[in-house]
Amino acid sequence: MEREGLVKKVKSSGLRVRTTVVLTEKGQEAYDKSTERQRIVEIMSSLSEEERRRLRSNLETLRDEALKHVARDLTPPFA
């Protein structure tokens, strides 16, 4: 985790030599994202498997329709 920049070692300046491991900003962000994901899982578990399937299908339909509208408004850079 230290190699990925998620934590860093901090040596104490006291009489005893101690090393404390602390989260970096990147580590805190990763932790926050992981707990958000867990909340989403908990919330989504209130739906049945069939309800989750329908929700996914409806969201895909909306995404595809939105992409059609966005693509229609785009002009190719080398037209």
Count how many Cα atoms sit within 13 Å of the Cα of residue 27 in the half-sphere of its side chain.
Answer: 13
Both tokens of residue 6?
């998620």
pLDDT tens per residue across span 18-43: 888 999 999 999 988 888 888 888 99
The pLDDT confidence band at residue 12, using thresholds 50, 70 and 90, is confident
The pTM of the whole model exceeds 0.85: no
Under DSSP, is residue 78 helix (H, G, I), strand (E, B) or coil?
coil
Q: What is the pLDDT of residue 45?
A: 94
